[in-house]
Amino acid sequence: MKVSLIITTYNRPDALKLVLKSALKQHRLPHEIVVADDGSGEETANVIQEAAKKSAVPILHAWQEDEGFRAAMSRNRAAAMSSGEYIVMIDGDMVLHPLFIKDHIEAAEPGTFVQGGRVLLSEEATKEAIIKSRISFSIFSKSIKNRKNALRCTLLSSLFSRKSRSLKGIRTCNFALFREDLLAVNGFDNRFVGWGREDSEFAARLLNSGMVRKDLRFAAIAYHLYHKESPREALKENDRRLERTIKERLVRCEDGIDRFMKDNI
Protein backbone atom coordinates (compact mmCIF):
# COMPACT_ATOMS: atom_id res chain seq x y z
CA MET A 1 0.00 0.00 0.00
CA LYS A 2 1.43 3.36 -1.04
CA VAL A 3 1.36 5.85 1.82
CA SER A 4 1.56 9.62 1.42
CA LEU A 5 2.77 11.37 4.56
CA ILE A 6 1.45 14.95 4.73
CA ILE A 7 3.22 17.31 7.12
CA THR A 8 1.70 20.73 7.86
CA THR A 9 4.09 23.56 8.72
CA TYR A 10 4.32 27.31 9.17
CA ASN A 11 7.60 29.14 9.82
CA ARG A 12 9.08 26.62 12.21
CA PRO A 13 12.03 25.22 10.24
CA ASP A 14 13.92 23.97 13.32
CA ALA A 15 11.01 21.72 14.28
CA LEU A 16 10.32 20.65 10.68
CA LYS A 17 13.94 19.57 10.33
CA LEU A 18 13.51 17.11 13.23
CA VAL A 19 10.16 15.86 11.92
CA LEU A 20 11.57 15.17 8.45
CA LYS A 21 14.57 13.45 10.00
CA SER A 22 12.26 11.15 11.96
CA ALA A 23 10.11 10.50 8.87
CA LEU A 24 13.17 9.38 6.92
CA LYS A 25 14.22 7.01 9.74
CA GLN A 26 11.03 4.96 9.47
CA HIS A 27 11.35 1.16 9.34
CA ARG A 28 8.63 1.34 6.68
CA LEU A 29 9.16 4.47 4.62
CA PRO A 30 6.15 6.27 3.15
CA HIS A 31 5.82 6.28 -0.64
CA GLU A 32 6.27 10.05 -0.54
CA ILE A 33 6.29 13.03 1.81
CA VAL A 34 4.33 16.18 1.03
CA VAL A 35 4.93 19.29 3.14
CA ALA A 36 1.76 21.37 3.42
CA ASP A 37 3.26 24.81 3.90
CA ASP A 38 0.92 27.61 5.01
CA GLY A 39 3.13 30.44 3.74
CA SER A 40 6.54 29.91 5.38
CA GLY A 41 9.66 31.78 4.33
CA GLU A 42 12.85 30.78 2.56
CA GLU A 43 14.41 29.04 5.57
CA THR A 44 11.64 26.42 5.55
CA ALA A 45 12.08 25.88 1.80
CA ASN A 46 15.80 25.30 2.39
CA VAL A 47 15.08 22.70 5.09
CA ILE A 48 12.80 20.83 2.68
CA GLN A 49 15.32 20.99 -0.16
CA GLU A 50 18.14 19.70 2.03
CA ALA A 51 16.02 16.82 3.30
CA ALA A 52 14.98 15.96 -0.27
CA LYS A 53 18.64 15.60 -1.30
CA LYS A 54 19.16 12.87 1.31
CA SER A 55 15.80 11.18 0.97
CA ALA A 56 15.12 7.77 -0.55
CA VAL A 57 11.54 8.87 -1.30
CA PRO A 58 10.19 12.02 -3.00
CA ILE A 59 9.65 15.05 -0.79
CA LEU A 60 7.21 17.52 -2.32
CA HIS A 61 6.56 21.10 -1.22
CA ALA A 62 2.97 22.38 -1.42
CA TRP A 63 3.27 26.11 -0.63
CA GLN A 64 0.62 28.81 -0.44
CA GLU A 65 0.80 32.51 0.34
CA ASP A 66 0.69 33.64 3.96
CA GLU A 67 -2.83 35.01 4.37
CA GLY A 68 -3.51 33.94 7.95
CA PHE A 69 -3.97 30.50 9.47
CA ARG A 70 -5.24 28.37 6.57
CA ALA A 71 -4.31 24.85 7.59
CA ALA A 72 -7.40 23.41 5.90
CA MET A 73 -6.44 24.80 2.52
CA SER A 74 -2.79 23.85 2.92
CA ARG A 75 -3.74 20.23 3.62
CA ASN A 76 -5.98 20.21 0.55
CA ARG A 77 -3.15 21.49 -1.64
CA ALA A 78 -0.83 18.82 -0.31
CA ALA A 79 -3.39 16.02 -0.63
CA ALA A 80 -4.14 17.07 -4.22
CA MET A 81 -0.43 16.86 -4.97
CA SER A 82 -0.08 13.43 -3.34
CA SER A 83 -0.40 10.10 -5.14
CA GLY A 84 -0.63 7.50 -2.36
CA GLU A 85 -3.75 5.44 -1.81
CA TYR A 86 -3.48 5.96 1.95
CA ILE A 87 -2.85 9.35 3.57
CA VAL A 88 -1.25 9.90 6.96
CA MET A 89 -1.36 13.48 8.28
CA ILE A 90 0.85 14.96 10.97
CA ASP A 91 1.80 18.45 12.10
CA GLY A 92 5.25 19.87 11.53
CA ASP A 93 6.09 19.57 15.22
CA MET A 94 5.44 15.83 15.62
CA VAL A 95 8.59 13.71 15.92
CA LEU A 96 7.77 10.16 14.86
CA HIS A 97 8.59 6.84 16.47
CA PRO A 98 10.50 4.63 13.96
CA LEU A 99 7.47 2.31 13.64
CA PHE A 100 4.94 5.13 13.17
CA ILE A 101 4.17 4.49 9.49
CA LYS A 102 4.19 0.72 9.96
CA ASP A 103 1.63 1.01 12.76
CA HIS A 104 -0.65 3.20 10.64
CA ILE A 105 -0.49 0.75 7.74
CA GLU A 106 -1.46 -2.11 10.03
CA ALA A 107 -4.32 -0.07 11.51
CA ALA A 108 -5.81 0.89 8.14
CA GLU A 109 -9.33 -0.39 7.44
CA PRO A 110 -11.85 0.46 4.70
CA GLY A 111 -14.60 2.76 5.95
CA THR A 112 -12.49 3.86 8.91
CA PHE A 113 -10.38 6.89 9.72
CA VAL A 114 -7.67 6.59 12.35
CA GLN A 115 -7.03 9.06 15.17
CA GLY A 116 -3.64 8.60 16.79
CA GLY A 117 -2.36 10.11 20.02
CA ARG A 118 0.59 12.28 20.97
CA VAL A 119 3.19 12.57 23.70
CA LEU A 120 3.70 16.15 24.89
CA LEU A 121 7.30 17.31 25.28
CA SER A 122 8.03 20.13 27.72
CA GLU A 123 9.52 23.43 26.58
CA GLU A 124 12.85 22.38 28.10
CA ALA A 125 12.85 18.99 26.35
CA THR A 126 11.90 20.62 23.07
CA LYS A 127 14.78 23.12 23.23
CA GLU A 128 17.21 20.31 24.01
CA ALA A 129 15.89 18.17 21.14
CA ILE A 130 16.31 21.00 18.64
CA ILE A 131 19.81 21.90 19.84
CA LYS A 132 20.99 18.26 19.80
CA SER A 133 18.94 17.27 16.71
CA ARG A 134 17.38 14.54 18.83
CA ILE A 135 14.58 12.37 17.49
CA SER A 136 14.83 9.41 19.85
CA PHE A 137 12.47 9.39 22.83
CA SER A 138 10.82 6.73 24.97
CA ILE A 139 8.46 6.24 27.87
CA PHE A 140 11.46 6.79 30.16
CA SER A 141 12.47 10.14 28.64
CA LYS A 142 12.58 13.13 30.98
CA SER A 143 10.26 16.13 30.69
CA ILE A 144 7.38 14.45 28.87
CA LYS A 145 3.71 14.62 29.73
CA ASN A 146 0.95 11.97 29.32
CA ARG A 147 3.75 9.40 29.57
CA LYS A 148 1.53 6.39 28.91
CA ASN A 149 1.10 7.60 25.31
CA ALA A 150 4.80 6.85 24.79
CA LEU A 151 4.29 3.13 25.39
CA ARG A 152 4.17 1.07 22.21
CA CYS A 153 2.76 -2.43 22.70
CA THR A 154 1.02 -4.52 20.05
CA LEU A 155 -1.01 -6.50 22.60
CA LEU A 156 -2.21 -3.40 24.45
CA SER A 157 -3.01 -1.72 21.16
CA SER A 158 -5.23 -4.60 20.11
CA LEU A 159 -7.00 -4.52 23.47
CA PHE A 160 -7.49 -0.78 23.90
CA SER A 161 -7.87 0.66 20.39
CA ARG A 162 -11.57 1.45 19.99
CA LYS A 163 -14.04 2.46 17.30
CA SER A 164 -16.61 5.17 17.85
CA ARG A 165 -18.57 7.95 16.18
CA SER A 166 -17.39 10.69 18.53
CA LEU A 167 -15.79 14.00 17.57
CA LYS A 168 -14.17 14.48 20.96
CA GLY A 169 -10.41 14.94 20.78
CA ILE A 170 -10.17 15.03 16.99
CA ARG A 171 -6.72 16.24 15.93
CA THR A 172 -5.18 15.94 12.50
CA CYS A 173 -1.69 16.09 14.02
CA ASN A 174 -1.85 12.26 13.90
CA PHE A 175 -4.61 11.15 11.55
CA ALA A 176 -4.99 8.72 8.65
CA LEU A 177 -7.50 7.56 6.05
CA PHE A 178 -7.78 6.23 2.54
CA ARG A 179 -7.42 8.81 -0.21
CA GLU A 180 -10.75 7.83 -1.77
CA ASP A 181 -12.53 8.60 1.52
CA LEU A 182 -10.93 12.04 1.71
CA LEU A 183 -11.99 12.78 -1.87
CA ALA A 184 -15.53 11.54 -1.23
CA VAL A 185 -16.15 14.39 1.24
CA ASN A 186 -14.18 16.92 -0.87
CA GLY A 187 -11.37 17.15 1.68
CA PHE A 188 -11.13 20.00 4.15
CA ASP A 189 -13.28 23.12 3.93
CA ASN A 190 -11.07 25.90 2.52
CA ARG A 191 -13.29 28.52 4.14
CA PHE A 192 -11.82 27.81 7.57
CA VAL A 193 -9.42 30.67 8.31
CA GLY A 194 -7.95 31.06 11.77
CA TRP A 195 -7.15 28.40 14.33
CA GLY A 196 -9.64 25.74 15.28
CA ARG A 197 -12.31 23.22 14.28
CA GLU A 198 -11.28 22.67 10.64
CA ASP A 199 -10.19 19.16 11.62
CA SER A 200 -13.36 18.43 13.65
CA GLU A 201 -15.57 19.65 10.80
CA PHE A 202 -13.69 17.41 8.36
CA ALA A 203 -14.13 14.44 10.70
CA ALA A 204 -17.83 15.26 11.15
CA ARG A 205 -18.38 14.99 7.39
CA LEU A 206 -16.49 11.69 7.32
CA LEU A 207 -18.83 10.38 10.03
CA ASN A 208 -21.85 11.76 8.15
CA SER A 209 -20.70 9.82 5.09
CA GLY A 210 -20.97 6.57 7.06
CA MET A 211 -17.38 6.12 8.20
CA VAL A 212 -16.34 5.23 11.73
CA ARG A 213 -13.46 6.48 13.83
CA LYS A 214 -10.72 4.30 15.26
CA ASP A 215 -8.76 5.62 18.23
CA LEU A 216 -5.34 4.01 17.95
CA ARG A 217 -3.75 3.37 21.33
CA PHE A 218 -0.22 2.19 22.19
CA ALA A 219 0.83 2.45 18.53
CA ALA A 220 1.81 5.11 15.96
CA ILE A 221 3.65 7.04 18.67
CA ALA A 222 4.53 10.69 17.99
CA TYR A 223 6.21 13.26 20.22
CA HIS A 224 4.74 16.76 20.10
CA LEU A 225 7.34 19.54 20.34
CA TYR A 226 6.31 22.38 22.63
CA HIS A 227 4.91 25.62 21.22
CA LYS A 228 2.78 28.46 22.52
CA GLU A 229 -0.95 28.25 21.80
CA SER A 230 -2.20 29.86 18.61
CA PRO A 231 -4.52 32.89 18.73
CA ARG A 232 -8.19 31.89 18.80
CA GLU A 233 -10.01 34.92 17.45
CA ALA A 234 -11.68 32.89 14.69
CA LEU A 235 -12.98 30.16 16.96
CA LYS A 236 -16.53 31.53 17.24
CA GLU A 237 -17.06 31.58 13.46
CA ASN A 238 -15.37 28.20 13.04
CA ASP A 239 -17.62 26.74 15.73
CA ARG A 240 -20.63 27.92 13.73
CA ARG A 241 -19.36 26.11 10.62
CA LEU A 242 -18.88 22.92 12.62
CA GLU A 243 -22.34 23.16 14.19
CA ARG A 244 -23.95 23.59 10.76
CA THR A 245 -22.18 20.49 9.44
CA ILE A 246 -23.38 18.45 12.40
CA LYS A 247 -26.95 19.79 12.37
CA GLU A 248 -27.48 19.45 8.61
CA ARG A 249 -25.46 16.21 8.37
CA LEU A 250 -23.34 17.61 5.55
CA VAL A 251 -21.02 15.25 3.71
CA ARG A 252 -19.30 17.33 1.03
CA CYS A 253 -18.04 20.86 1.58
CA GLU A 254 -18.70 23.48 -1.08
CA ASP A 255 -15.11 24.69 -1.32
CA GLY A 256 -12.68 21.84 -0.84
CA ILE A 257 -9.92 19.83 -2.44
CA ASP A 258 -11.61 19.85 -5.84
CA ARG A 259 -10.34 23.42 -6.26
CA PHE A 260 -6.80 22.03 -6.56
CA MET A 261 -7.35 18.67 -8.21
CA LYS A 262 -7.40 20.03 -11.77
CA ASP A 263 -3.80 21.15 -11.35
CA ASN A 264 -2.70 17.66 -10.42
CA ILE A 265 -4.47 15.40 -12.91
pLDDT surpassing 90 at residue 24: yes
pTM for the structure as a whole: 0.96
pLDDT surpassing 80 at residue 264: no
Q: Which DSSP string corresponds to the chain?
A: --EEEEEEESS-HHHHHHHHHHHTT-SS--SEEEEEESS--HHHHHHHHHHHHH-SS-EEEEE---SS--HHHHHHHHHHH---SEEEEEETTEEEPTTHHHHHHHH--TTEEEE---EEEPHHHHHHHHHHT-----TT-SSEESGGGG---HHHHHHH-EEE---TT--TTEEEEEHHHHHHTTSS-TT--SSSSHHHHHHHHHHHTT-EEEE--SSS-EEE---PPPP-TTHHHHHHHHHHHHHHT--S-SSSTHHHHGGG-
Question: What is the residue range of 31's domain?
Answer: 3-264
Structure confidence at residue 229 (pLDDT): 79
Structure confidence at residue 263 (pLDDT): 59
- Split into its structural domains, the chain has a count of 1
State mean pLDDT over 32-39. 98
220 vs 142, residue with greater confidence = 220
Provide the CATH number for the domain around residue 65.
3.90.550.10
Structure confidence at residue 233 (pLDDT): 79
Percent of the chain with pLDDT over 70: 99
pLDDT band at 196 (very low <50, low <70, confident <90, very high): confident
Structure confidence at residue 265 (pLDDT): 45
